[in-house]
């Protein structure tokens, strides 16, 4: 966590989010196993690199997440799990940092802003990517968001803004073995 902070001292506003196919595959696979026919959603962490306004998401993992259906303000995310998992991932690939988190949506929910705030502890400018695991039409199944601070009537308030993130799903041929498998 400290390493990330020193690297991204002055975060540039994010313009582009590149999602690698491995990430999509693992998210869909996890969703199918865990929450296929339920109304629950799966939440996880996105790992990757961020350079000059472009976020490159190369890896991901799900985290234990629970929310109350009736009361959206009641939610629990096991951040100890995330910290342990991330420290293990770091041993394999030190270049991968936490860049944000994902949700299987399919749409934005009320507590997303609170969860986003939690991720500010790990990365200064986190990105939320909503993955549509059951797309009806053909197209890009992802939507990326980041949060913006708005001054609202003498009080600062954070709100999420849908930005023109060009989410490219780029199959890198020169990438690591996991991607060639995908």
Query: In the complex, what is the shortest distance from the CB of residue 66 to other proteins, in angstroms, rounded to a whole number?
Result: 4
Taking the least distance from each CB to other proteins, the nearer of 80 and 180 is 80
Taking the least distance from each CB to other proteins, the nearer of 75 and 86 is 75
Query: In the complex, what is the shortest distance from the CB of residue 14 to other proteins, in angstroms, rounded to a whole number?
Result: 25
Taking the least distance from each CB to other proteins, the nearer of 10 and 73 is 73
Query: In the complex, what is the shortest distance from the CB of residue 76 to other proteins, in angstroms, rounded to a whole number?
Result: 4
Rounded Cα distance, 117 and 129, in Å: 15
First-to-last alpha carbon distance for the chain, in angstroms, is 29
Rounded Cα distance, 100 and 78, in Å: 16
Q: Beta-carbon neighbour count of residue 132 at 10 Å?
A: 17
Query: In the complex, what is the shortest distance from the CB of residue 126 to other proteins, in angstroms, rounded to a whole number?
Result: 17
Taking the least distance from each CB to other proteins, the nearer of 19 and 77 is 77
Query: In the complex, what is the shortest distance from the CB of residue 67 to other proteins, in angstroms, rounded to a whole number?
Result: 8
Taking the least distance from each CB to other proteins, the nearer of 79 and 168 is 79
The string of DSSP letters for the chain reads -HHHHHHTSSPPPP-EEEE-HHHHHHHHHHHHHHSTTSS---EEEEEEEEETTEEEEEEEEE--EEE-SS-TT-EEE-HHHHHHHHHHHHHH-TT-EEEEEEE--SS--TTHHHHHHHHTTT-SS-EEEEE-SS-SSSS--EEEEEEEEEEETTEEEEEEEE---EEEE---TTS-HHHHH-
Binding site for other proteins (CB under 8 A): 64, 66-68, 71, 73-81, 114
Query: In the complex, what is the shortest distance from the CB of residue 79 to other proteins, in angstroms, rounded to a whole number?
Result: 7
Taking the least distance from each CB to other proteins, the nearer of 67 and 96 is 67
């Amino acid at each position: 966590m400290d390493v990330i902070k020193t690297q991204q001292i002055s975060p540039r506003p994010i313009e582009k989010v590149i999602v690698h196919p491995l990430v999509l595959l693992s998210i869909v696979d996890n969703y199918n196993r865990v929450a296929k026919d339920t109304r629950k959603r799966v939440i996880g962490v996105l790992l990757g690199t961020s350079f000059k306004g472009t976020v490159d998401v190369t890896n991901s993992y799900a985290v234990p997440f629970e929310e109350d259906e009736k009361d959206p303000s009641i939610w629990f995310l096991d951040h100890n799990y995330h910290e342990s998992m991330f420290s293990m991932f770091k041993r394999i690939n030190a270049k991968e940092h936490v860049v944000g988190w994902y949700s299987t949506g399919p749409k934005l929910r009320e507590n997303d802003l609170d969860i986003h705030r939690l991720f500010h502890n790990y990365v200064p400018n986190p990105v939320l990517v909503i993955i549509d695991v059951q797309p009806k039409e053909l197209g890009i199944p992802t939507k990326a968001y980041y949060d913006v601070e708005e001054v609202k009537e003498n009080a600062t308030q954070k709100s999420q803004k849908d930005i023109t993130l060009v989410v490219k799903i780029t199959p890198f041929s020169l990438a690591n073995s996991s991607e060639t498998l995908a």
